[in-house]
C-alpha cells in the first residue's frame, strides 16, 4: 500500500457483512498458486528424477502438464465457490471444504491478532488477504485470501481483540459493546466504540495499519548496509554451493574434465577463484534477499500493539500486542558490530513470523540508537541493569569450549580431506572467539528486568521481564563445581517452543542469586543472617500460607 494522501470514508458495511460472501474471484488463482507452491518440492523431484527414461512422467508431454494445471485450476475455482465468510453475532464465520463442509466460527474474544497483508497478485487487483490468529497457535486460525481493503478493514476494526482485551492479559468475556472508549496515558483517545467505527477517516496507508505515520522507517542506505552485513550470507553460500555441486549432473562430464584439465596447471589459483566467485554470488543473493524481505520496513505504534510493515514484492504486516512481548534482543552481528550497527528482535508468545522464530523488530540501527528506540517503542524494556561478568578464572573454560568443536572439525578434515593444513589457522581464531565470548558474557537484574548478554558469533543482549520468565536453572558440571562456577539458564515463551538464554560460568553465587531473583518470595537475606533457624521459620510460614505439602520419608 503506497501512502496515498487521499482520505476515504469507509462505507457502512454491517448489513452486508452478516451475509455469507465469497472472496474475490482472484482467490481461485491464488489457490492454484498456493497449491503449486506447496507441491514445489515434489514437482522439482519429479522434474529431475521422474520420467527421464520412461517418457511417461508428468513433464514428458505438454498435454500431461496442461491437464494437470487445468485440474488444479478447476479445483481452485471449486474451492473458491465453496468458500464463504461472514461476520455474525460477534464471530467471524468461515465455511469451506469441497466434499466435507467445514465451518470455523471464531468468536471475537478468542482472536489474538488480525493481520492484513497483500502479495503481488493481490495488489494487482487492489486486494488484500486477512489472517486471523487465535491463542491456540495455528490449529484454528483462519485466512481469507482475497478481499477488498474496505472489507478487511471493517473486519479488523470490528473484530479486533484490542477493544475488549485489558492491557494485562485475560480476555474479558462480557459484552464488549458496553465498554466505553477510554483514554490512555498519553491522553490520545482510542478509536470509536465497538459497533460504529466505520466512520473513520484515514489515508489508505494509515488505514491499513491503523495509525498515521511510522515511528521508525528503514532508509534505503541502511537497508543496503543490512543486506551487505547480513548473516543469511552463510545460508546463501550453502545454497549456491549445493547448486554448484549439482551442476555436475547437468553439464556434460567430458566438458568438465576438459575444463579441469585446462585449468589444473594451476589448481590452487583455480580453487581460490571458484571459492571467491561462489562467495560473491552468495553475497549478492543475500543482499537481494534482505532487500526484498526488509524493504519498506516501517514500525508503527498503537495503544496496545506495535505494527510492523515490510516487504517489497510481498507486503507483510505483523502485529505484536504489547501484552504478548516476552523479551527484546539486541543483536550485534560480527560484521555489524565493528560498524556500530545492531539488529533488534522481539520474542513474543503464540505467534511470530513463523513458529520457532522471533520477529525482527528493526533490521538495522546504530547501537547508540537502540536504547532510544526501545524507550519509544517498548518503554517497559528501557532498562540498563547493572551486570556481573564471569570471573577471569572462567576464561579458560570459555576458550576450551570454543576449541572443542574446532578440534572435532580439524579431526574430521584430516580424516576426510587430502590436504587439511589450511584449516589449522582456525585454532587461533577459536581462541580469540573464546576470549570475546568470555568478555561479552554478562547477566544483571534491576527491580523487574533481567539482562543476559552472550556471544555465539554475534553479541546478543536479551532483556526479559521477571513476570515473563517461565523457569530458571543454575547448573554446573564437575569441572565447574571444582572452580566454583555455575551457569544460568532462563526460559521464556517464544513462538511454540520457547526460547532459552544462558550466561555461562558465572561466579556460583551470582548464578544462584539470579535464580532466586526470579522468584523473590523466599527471603534470602533473613536466611543468610540467622542461618538454618531463619530458614526453618521461613519454611513454616510458607507452609502455613500455602498449605505446604508435607510428604517425605
Partner 1 sequence: MQRFEAESAYNNQISFIPAEGFFLSFNMRPDPEHKIDPKAIPAWRISGGLGSLFWWFIPVIYGFIALGGGVDRWMILAVTALVVLNTVLQATIIPKIRWQRWSYQIDKHEIYLKSGIFVIRRTLIPVNRIQHVDTRQGPILRSFSLSTVTITTAATTHEIPALNDEVADEVRNRISDLARSADEDV
Residues that bind partner 1 (CB under 8 A): 349, 469-478, 481-484, 491-494, 497-500, 508-509, 512, 515-516, 518-519, 521-522, 524-525, 527-528, 532, 535, 539, 542, 545-549, 551-553
Q: Where are the alpha helices (DSSP H) in 334-442?
A: 367-377, 395-416, 426-440
Nearer to partner 1, 428 or 546 (CB): 546
Nearer to partner 1, 37 or 521 (CB): 521
Residue from 471, 505, 501 nearest 487 by CA: 505
Q: Is 461 exposed, middle or buried (0-12, 13-18, 19+ CB in 10 A)?
A: buried
Nearer to partner 1, 153 or 515 (CB): 515
Nearer to partner 1, 306 or 493 (CB): 493
Q: Are 343 and 333 in contact (CB under 8 A)?
A: yes
List all residues 6 or more positions away from 110 whose beta carbon is below 8 Å from its beta carbon. Answer: 134, 135, 136, 171
Nearer to partner 1, 60 or 473 (CB): 473
Grid cell 521464556 is found at 492
Nearer to partner 1, 153 or 349 (CB): 349
> How far apart are CB 482 and partner 1 at their closest, in Å?
6
Nearer to partner 1, 142 or 492 (CB): 492
Nearer to partner 1, 254 or 532 (CB): 532
> How far apart are CB 528 and partner 1 at their closest, in Å?
4
> How far apart are CB 508 and partner 1 at their closest, in Å?
6
Residue from 144, 15, 156, 16 nearest 83 by CA: 144
> How far apart are CB 250 and partner 1 at their closest, in Å?
33
Is beta strand 341-348 parallel, antiparallel or unpaired with respect to 111-117?
unpaired
* Type and span of the H or E element at 361: strand 359-366
> How far apart are CB 347 and partner 1 at their closest, in Å?
10
> How far apart are CB 462 and partner 1 at their closest, in Å?
14
Phi/psi of residue 265, each to 5°?
-55, -35
Start-to-end C-alpha separation, the chain: 68
> How far apart are CB 276 and partner 1 at their closest, in Å?
39
Q: Quick one: residue 22, left, alpha or beta (phi over 0 = left, psi -120 to 50 = alpha)?
A: beta
Q: At 64, list the grid cell.
A: 500431461
Side-chain-facing half-sphere of 237: CA atoms under 13 Å? 13
Sheet with 111-117: list strands edge to edge. Answer: 111-117, 127-134, 142-148
* Type and span of the H or E element at 449: strand 449-455
> How far apart are CB 159 and partner 1 at their closest, in Å?
25
Q: Are 28 and 80 in contact (CB under 8 A)?
A: yes
> How far apart are CB 416 and partner 1 at their closest, in Å?
16
Nearer to partner 1, 199 or 477 (CB): 477
Dist CA 260 CA 275 (whole Å): 15
Dist CA 318 CA 311 (whole Å): 11
Amino acid at each position: 500500500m503506497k501512502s496515498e494522501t487521499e482520505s476515504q470514508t469507509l462505507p457502512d458495511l454491517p448489513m452486508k457483512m452478516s451475509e455469507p460472501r465469497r472472496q474475490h474471484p482472484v482467490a481461485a488463482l491464488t489457490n492454484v498458486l498456493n497449491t503449486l507452491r506447496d507441491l514445489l518440492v515434489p514437482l522439482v523431484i519429479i522434474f529431475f528424477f521422474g520420467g527421464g527414461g520412461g517418457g511417461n512422467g508428468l513433464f514428458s508431454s505438454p498435454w500431461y502438464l496442461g491437464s494437470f494445471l487445468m485440474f488444479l485450476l478447476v479445483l481452485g475455482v471449486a474451492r473458491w465457490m465453496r468458500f464463504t465468510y461472514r461476520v455474525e453475532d460477534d464471530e467471524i464465520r468461515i465455511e469451506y471444504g469441497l466434499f466435507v463442509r467445514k465451518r470455523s466460527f471464531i468468536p471475537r474474544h478468542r482472536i489474538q491478532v488480525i493481520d492484513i497483508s497483500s502479495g503481488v497478485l493481490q495488489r494487482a487487483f487492489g486486494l488484500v488477504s486477512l489472517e486471523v490468529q487465535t491463542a491456540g497457535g495455528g490449529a484454528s486460525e483462519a485466512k481469507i485470501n482475497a478481499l477488498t481493503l474496505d472489507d478487511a478493514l471493517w473486519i479488523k476494526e470490528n473484530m479486533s481483540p484490542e477493544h475488549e482485551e485489558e492491557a494485562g492479559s485475560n480476555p474479558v468475556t462480557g459484552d464488549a459493546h458496553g465498554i466505553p472508549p477510554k483514554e490512555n496515558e498519553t491522553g490520545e483517545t482510542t478509536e470509536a466504540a465497538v459497533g460504529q467505527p466505520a466512520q473513520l477517516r484515514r489515508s489508505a496507508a494509515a488505514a491499513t495499519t491503523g495509525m498515521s505515520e511510522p515511528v521508525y522507517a528503514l532508509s534505503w542506505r541502511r537497508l543496503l548496509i543490512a543486506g551487505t552485513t547480513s548473516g543469511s550470507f552463510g545460508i546463501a553460500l550453502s545454497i549456491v554451493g549445493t547448486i554448484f555441486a549439482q551442476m555436475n549432473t547437468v553439464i556434460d562430464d567430458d566438458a568438465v574434465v576438459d575444463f579441469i584439465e585446462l585449468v589444473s596447471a594451476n589448481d590452487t589459483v583455480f580453487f581460490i577463484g571458484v571459492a571467491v566467485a561462489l562467495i560473491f554470488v552468495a553475497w549478492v543473493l543475500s543482499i537481494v534477499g534482505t532487500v526484498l524481505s526488509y524493504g519498506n520496513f516501517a514500525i508503527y505504534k498503537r495503544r496496545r500493539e506495535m505494527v510492523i510493515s515490510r516487504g517489497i514484492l510481498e507486503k507483510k504486516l505483523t502485529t505484536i500486542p504489547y501484552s504478548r512481548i516476552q523479551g527484546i534482543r539486541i543483536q550485534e552481528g560480527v560484521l555489524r558490530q565493528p560498524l556500530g550497527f545492531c539488529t533488534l528482535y522481539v520474542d513474543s508468545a503464540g505467534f511470530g513470523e513463523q513458529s520457532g522464530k522471533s520477529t525482527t523488530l528493526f533490521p538495522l540501527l546504530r547501537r547508540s540508537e537502540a536504547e532510544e528506540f526501545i524507550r519509544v517503542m517498548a518503554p517497559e524494556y528501557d532498562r540498563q541493569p547493572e551486570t556481573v561478568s564471569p570471573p577471569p578464572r572462567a576464561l579458560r573454560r570459555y576458550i576450551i569450549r570454543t576449541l572443542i568443536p574446532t578440534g572435532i572439525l580439524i579431526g574430521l578434515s584430516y580424516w576426510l580431506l587430502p590436504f587439511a593444513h589450511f584449516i589449522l589457522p582456525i585454532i587461533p581464531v577459536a581462541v580469540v572467539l573464546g576470549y570475546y565470548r568470555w568478555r561479552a558474557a554478562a547477566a544483571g537484574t534491576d527491580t523487574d528486568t533481567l539482562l543476559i548478554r552472550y556471544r555465539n558469533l554475534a553479541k546478543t543482549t536479551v532483556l526479559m521481564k521477571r513476570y515473563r520468565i517461565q523457569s530458571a536453572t543454575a547448573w554446573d558440571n564437575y569441572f565447574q563445581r571444582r572452580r566454583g562456577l555455575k551457569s544460568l539458564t532462563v526460559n521464556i515463551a517464544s513462538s511454540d517452543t520457547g526460547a532459552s538464554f544462558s550466561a555461562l560460568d558465572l561466579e556460583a553465587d551470582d548464578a544462584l542469586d539470579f535464580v532466586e531473583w526470579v522468584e523473590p518470595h523466599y527471603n534470602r537475606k533473613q536466611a543468610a543472617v540467622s542461618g538454618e533457624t531463619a530458614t526453618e521459620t521461613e519454611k513454616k510460614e510458607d507452609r502455613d500460607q500455602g498449605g505446604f505439602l508435607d510428604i517425605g520419608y
